[in-house]
Every structure is written in C-alpha cells, then in structure tokens.
A and B are shown apart, each in its own frame.
Chain A
Amino acid sequence: MQGDDVRTMLKDLRNHRLTRRQAAARMGELGLSLVTAWALIDRVTAGPARAAAAVGRGTQGTLKLLYWQAPTILNPHLANGTKDFHAAHVTLESLLHADTAGNLTPVLAAEVPSIANGGVAKDGRSVTYKLKPGVKWADGRPFTSDDVVFTYHYISNKATGATTYGNYDDIVKVEPIDATTVKITFKNPTPFWYRAFVGENGMIVPRHALDPYVGSNSRNAPFNLKAFGTGPYMVDSFRPGDLVTYKINPYYRDPNKPAFSQVQMKGGGDAVSAARAVFETGEYDYAWNLQVEWPVLSHMMGSGRGVLQPEPGGGVECLYLNETDPNKDVDGQRSSLKTKHPFLSDLKVRQALALAVDRQTMATQLYGEAGDPTANLLTTPSKYYSKNTKMAMDLDKANSLLDEAGWKRGPDGVREKNGVKLDVKYVTSVNSLRQKEQQIVKDGWEKLGGRVTLQSVDAGVYFSSSPGNTDTITHFYRDVEMFTDSFDLSPVSYMEQWYSADPAKDIAQKENNWSGQNLVRWQNAEYNKLFDEGVKELDPQKNTQIWIQANDVAVTQVAGIPLINRKSVNARVKNLQTGPNMSAFDDATWNMADWKRVG
C-alpha cells in the first residue's frame, strides 16, 4: 500500500501535478527519510532514461556557480560571511550534516551518535564520534581523529579570532580515543551536543596545514587562500572578491565522484542579474540567495530554464519594539533601562500595532515563494514551530484596543494620550525589499492613527558593532527596528534576544558597550524561567515543548512582531541535479560530490 502511494505520487510529480516540495513533504509523512525521498524525486524528475546512468569522475566539464556576494577567504572558521562558508564547503567537510528540521546525517562521521548507539552520554556531558575509516586529505595524508582535535584547538583559541567560536564555547575538551574515534566533553550537561562539528560551523581543517597558524597569526596562513580538505574538490585558483576555481580532489573517497572536472564560483554584482544569468541567459548553472522581489523572480522563471529551490530557515523578518524611551537621554545614553517607552511599553498599544500589520500582502506581493507569513518568532529548526499562535490582521480590533487604552485621535488624526503622540520612528537597513515592507507596515499603522517616520540606515553601519555609532541595531535609538536574526541548530542564542535574567549583562546598554543580546529591553520573568529550563532539559521531547512555550509567551506579550518566515532561495538550471542540498543549517554546497548534470 505504501509503495503504491509513493508510486502514484511520483506519477503526479512527473505530470507536474505536484511540486517537488509537496511530494517530498508527503513522502515524509509516509515515513520515508527525506534523503531517500529526494533521491526518488530526482530520479523521477530527471526522467527514466538517465535515472540509472552512473556518471564517472570528472566527466561533465565545468560547473558554474554564481554568488552575488564574492568569497574573500576560504577558511570557514575565519569567514566574513555566508558566501565564504559556501566557498569553503566545496572543499571541506563536517562530521554531520543537519537539515532544516534539525535531523542529522553522517558525513565524515561513520554514524550519527545517539543514546541508543552509545555515542551520546546519558548524563548529557559528552559525545563520542566514530569517524569514517580510510578518508584522505586532498594531499594524500590520512584524515584522523587528530584533525578533529586540532580543529577544536584552532577554533577555541581566542587569539585565532575564529568566527565560529560560539559553537565551541561550551566544550571542555576534545580527545582522541583512537585514530577513528573522538570524544567531546562539555562543561555542563547539554541537550545541544550537535552544535560543534556539524553543518556550516563544523568543517574539519587539516592539522598539517594549519598547525603553525593557531592563534594571533591565523590570518597569515596560505591555507586561507588555497584551502583543501576531504571534500570532492580542492581550490585551484582564487581571486578574492571575484572568482574561485576548484579542481578534483584526487584522493576523494568515492572513485566515481565528483561528476565535474572543474567548479567555478563567481562572485559580485547583484541578486537580480544573478537570477537572470540562470533563468534567462543560462550563463550559469547555479545561483545563490536570490533575494529578488517576487514579481521579478516569477517573471524570470517563466523562461522554464531553471528551477527555484526555496528552503525555510532564512530567519524571521521581525519588528522589534523598544521598551525604553529612545528620546530621553539618561547617563549619556538614550533607550536607557531607567526609562519607559511613552507608548510602546503599553501592552495594548503593542497588540494593536501587531494587529495592524498586513503580513499576508507582504508575503504574497513581496516574497512569493521566498517567504511565508508567520505569527511565530521561533520557526527553525522546524520542530520548534508553535501551532498555538494565531496570525490576524484586524484593524477594527486594533482600533478598539487603542480606544480602550485611552489613546484618542487628535485634530490631526494622530492618536494621543496625556500629551504623548503615537509618533513612531521606524528604522531598518537600506534594502529595496525592506523599504517596501516599511511602506506596508506604515500604511497599516497610519490607518490606526499613528504617525510613522521611515528611516533606513546603511547595512554596514546598522549591523555594525561599533559602540561609538548610535545608528546601530544595538543602540536602538528609535522606536521600532526591523531586521532578521539568523537561527542556530540550538534555539538558545536566538531566544537570548528576549532573555533578561541578568539585565546588566543580557540587555544591550552603555555599561556593557551595547554587547547584550536583548535589544528590545523587554523583561519577563516567565520567559526567563522557560529559557533557563530549555537550556538544561535533556529529554528531547520535553525540551522542544519548553522552547515552543517560550515562543508563545514572547508572541502573546508582543516582545516582537514576527512578519515573514523567510526562505533562502537558490536557483539551478533544469538539467543540474543537486540532491537535498538545501538546509537552514548547512551550506548549499555541502553535498557537492553528488551534483551532476542529467540529460
């Protein structure tokens, strides 16, 4: 029966009655693992003739990838941005791969550690990995547990300045048991043992190439510009800010892979023309992160040359509401914890603002397949997605909430109470999509009787960490900010945005150089309690429930207004097969060994 179901589904798929993603989701319901499902789908959509055709190593010429941000460094642990991780992942590999739901599959590890197979300790204090035997680096040297241990030392040395550091800071030690076994011990019992050595942040680097470059001279290593690893390709030439070319790693473990003799990763330009190069001119085989307005993208897709790959987990585009007064200067800082926001500290006002945001229009007009409207702050890994929240646009209810709370419309149509006007300064980064979102939000809030001033700050300044610049997201010298914070395999760092057990440390302010993670200055005891439990609870089911509750508290108290559950959108030409390469927690290039052309 089950086999029958799968078969009908594949037939539907072939006849375009189902999208690939729908099919995958339904196969998932049928209990097929996602990887198997994708393999099946790929075989079907690729057509019967080429389903079984095995391609030999290096038989398919050049694969051309287009990234509108150009890689500048090829060592993933010194990466300046996502594009650098993707460029590194063509050559380097992690122990495990994680998909968007949070499921793990082995890459360099022989199997996924679990309590059942003895890999994960029952007390949550350690995890032991078995490595694949016989794996070699691209220069022929063997890959051993020693390299894993070294990778840890390399990253955890603060002087190295590794940008992946945060995933390794709860580890006490990493030790080799034998050549293919390695044991990781944690400071405290943790349910999130899979943050280290997994996915984008977990790539293992060769000890023999980087041994002299641990610590302060890390940025001088030749390896950074000419990386090689255990993956299918190795760097051939590198022009920072423009182009990386890769050639086959002669020691790659599967003799029939990879399919291409060369890979080129070209960088620079803008997302629209990158989409154009795949969909309209076919100059490139694959384009990354097409943050393009939906009408433009869907128009280009009409050419039928390419296929879009949307994947949830691109973060939640969110409105952050300031709980403190951004216009009052206290002790040399605005938005001081000693102040209260004149109107945003009123729960009814926050609820009204949330009700007046037209997420649906935003999603359909601006995002299309690249994002869904959402009422949740925590959406990824998808197992944490709460079903208890409701998303509604209700101007009448919003208006009556404001009436109830005593906010009356003045002669100019702007609501006020005790001489305070509902005057909102609303800032985000310079980005045409964001500016359009601002317009939609403004539209709704003005119907509510608010006065909205839109501002946009250059992204380089807005997201910068400079304590001297007051235009940054951390200073929060405005009433409302809008940006997307990225997700992690563990929800802890994302949810820290609303945590305030120790306000002096957790909340961004002058006293801690605005380094606190809580930018909205929101404080809630119930939330803090759930957060503390979620960090400790070892039972996976219970743990998930705790985080869902934490999300629900933050949503009902309107600690932020979630707008869009964003997807990262890549595109490939039709005849390129990339397998299940999309994941919120890994780079699209993680499985490049399996990429091949069909037909």
Chain B
Amino acid sequence: MTKYILRRLLTSIPTLILISMAVFAIVALAPGDPLSGLATNPDVPASVRLTILHQMGLDQPLPIRYLKWAESWLLGNWGYSFGSHMAVTRLLLQRLPTDLWVLGSSYLVAVLIAIPIGVISAVRQYSLQDQVATTFAFIGYSLPTFFTGILMIIVFSVKLHWLPFIYNVTVHDPIGVLKQAIMPVAVLALFQSASLTRFVRSSMLDNVALDYVRTARAKGLAQGRVIRRHVLRNSLIPVVTLIALQLPGVFTGAVVTEQIFRVPGIGSLLIASLQNSDTPVLMAIAFVAAILVVLFNLVADVIYGTLDPRIRYG
C-alpha cells in the first residue's frame, strides 16, 4: 500500500511539471498586459511603464521567467501579485477560510440532501418519489447558478429584505454569518446535490441487481435491512470516491456564485486576476488546483481500495 502510494506520487511529478509548463505558457503567451489600465493615463509616460514592467520581471525571455518561477516556487516563494505586491501565499491564505466555510458547507448540505433522496429514488425506482426526485435533480443542474443566484437576490434581498446579498468578512456574530451565507450555500448546494443524487441513485441500482443482494434476500432478511446493511454500504463506495474527486473544486471556488454574492474566495480572486493579467496569482491558483486534483485522485483511489476488498494494489 505504502509502496503503491509512493509510486503514484513519483509518477505524478512529471505530470505536474508538464502541467506547470503548459499553464505558464498559456498565461505568459496570452495577450493582455497588467499595465493596460495605465495605457490611456496621460500621467504615465512610456519610460515609467517600462520601469514598472522591469520591476515585475516581465521584460525577460519566457524560459528564464519559467525557470525563475519554478525555482522560487520550490523554495516556497510563490511570487508577488502585480496589483498589490502582496505575497501570493498571503493573498490565498486570506481567502481560503471563506471558501472552506461557504463552499465546504454547501458541499456538506449537498451530500446530506443527495444521499437520502438518491437512496429513496433507487429503492422505489420509477415510483412517484423517484420521478419527482429525478425531475428535481435535473432542474437543479439545468438552471445555471447565475440565474438562481440573481433570482434569490431579487426575492430575498430586494423584495423581502430578509437576507443581505453582499458577503462581508468583517461580520462575526453567528446570526449575521449564517444569514449572509444562506443564499450562496443554497445556490451551490442545489446545483451540486442534483448530480450527486443521480450518482447515488445509479450506484444503488447497480448493486440492487447483484447476486449478493439476492442471496441476502433469500436468507430471509427484511427489505430495509438488506438495503441498509448491504446495498447502501456497497453503493456508497463509489460515491465517497466521487466526493474525494470533487473536493479540489472547493479550492478553485465557485467562480460564478462568488461573483454574484461578492464572496471573497479564490474564485473571485481568479476572475480579478484574469482581468488584470496578474500572472503570479493566476499561476499559483492554476497550479495549486492541479496539485490538488492529482492528490485527490490518489486519495480517491486509496479510499476505493480500502473500502472495497476486491481491489488489490500491485
């Protein structure tokens, strides 16, 4: 097992290097310019603009810039934002807690909704409950999050004045914190639970048809017990794996939702950095996201192996 993990980690290193090169090339070769905002400013002559470019190291050839970036990345220096000149690590750490709280809880809510609904609609396949759940799930991911988000703002903030729609990190009292999180969490949870529900349902259905279930029934076990003790347990293995695979998404944030509710998370940082061509921040976000994806892929495989005795690591 340890050997397997080590081997997987080692083989992912070249993958990560390739990814970093690809991302760096995309970011660096793209048009756009961190100083574009200054171009029409008559107070900034060309010489000053060049000075600023030099301070940012943007006047050097591409391979050099990549090597420099890679070297300092390994040393733990992820560079400084072009806009604020704040260390990128600090910038990310400022935003991570908000994401963990908002996106984390939305994911939790989604899981808590999805499992029972998925189980029920699988056990009573083609029943009314199943049809309703299926329709709910499909509507959940047919509605773009920006649409549900703005709709909720109009109803709950503008018309009813129940909830604030601008996320403010300086709010600390528990009720205030809860109130401002309700809408973003609800929007995200609706979207995420939709696909999870479907996944739980089909995973359950795969298992219901298997021989061991028939055996359990033949032994005379009650339906509820068969479902709970046997089918559910086995069906949740791929579900847990899927959850592990989706977790890195919590880090990259929910770009649209963060934009609508002004949640200061990594997603909104990503958009802002895109607009300002803030290369160091973009690189950091994209690369950390890649590392997390690779890592959680491994985690998913390990979980799968641990939970499912049929899998052996060679």
Contact = CB atoms under 8 A, between A and B. Distances in A.
B104 interface: no
A164 interface: yes
Contacts of A159: 51
A162 B41 CA distance: 12
Given A158-B51, A283-B165, A464-B33, A268 B83 contact: no
Interface size of B as a range:
35 or more
A165 interface: yes
A428 B81 CA distance: 29
A240 B81 contact: yes
Interface string B146-170: 0000000100011001001110111
Given A268-B268, A460-B275, A239 B169 contact: yes
Q: Which of B31, B43, B94 has the most CB of A within 10 A?
A: B43
Contacts of A220: 85
Contacts of A273: 153, 165-166, 260, 262
Interface in A458-505: 458-461, 463-466, 468-469, 471-474, 483, 485-486, 488, 493-494, 496
Interface string B49-79: 1011001000000000000000000000000
B36 A464 contact: yes
Contacts of A166: 41-45
B36 A465 contact: yes
A276 B158 contact: yes
A456 interface: no
Interface string A386-410: 0000000000000000000000000
Contact of B48 (A165, A216, A225, A276): A165
A460 B83 contact: no
Contacts of A281: 157-158, 161, 164-165
Interface string B86-119: 1000010011000000000000000000000000
A216 B56 CA distance: 10
A81 interface: yes
Contacts of B259: 268-269
Given A277-B165, A283-B165, A241 B83 contact: yes
A72 B81 contact: yes
A243 B263 CA distance: 11
Main secondary structure of the interface of A (DSSP, over half): loop
B143 to A, nearest CB: 19
Given A80-B83, A240-B84, A515 B157 contact: no
A466 B31 contact: yes
Given A163-B43, A460-B275, A473-B40, A241 B33 contact: no
Contacts, number: 171
Nearest to A68: B262
A170 interface: no
Given A66-B166, A471-B31, A463 B39 contact: yes
B9 interface: no
A240 B42 contact: no
A73 interface: yes
A465 to B, nearest CB: 4
A163 B277 CA distance: 18
Given A162-B48, A224-B84, 15 more contacts: A72-B276, A164-B43, A167-B43, A201-B43, A239-B94, A240-B86, A266-B168, A273-B153, A280-B158, A281-B157, A283-B166, A466-B33, A483-B40, A486-B40, A515-B46
20 contacts: A80-B276, A163-B48, A167-B43, A225-B84, A225-B85, A239-B95, A242-B264, A242-B268, A269-B262, A283-B157, A283-B164, A283-B166, A460-B33, A460-B275, A463-B40, A464-B36, A466-B32, A483-B40, A486-B41, A513-B46
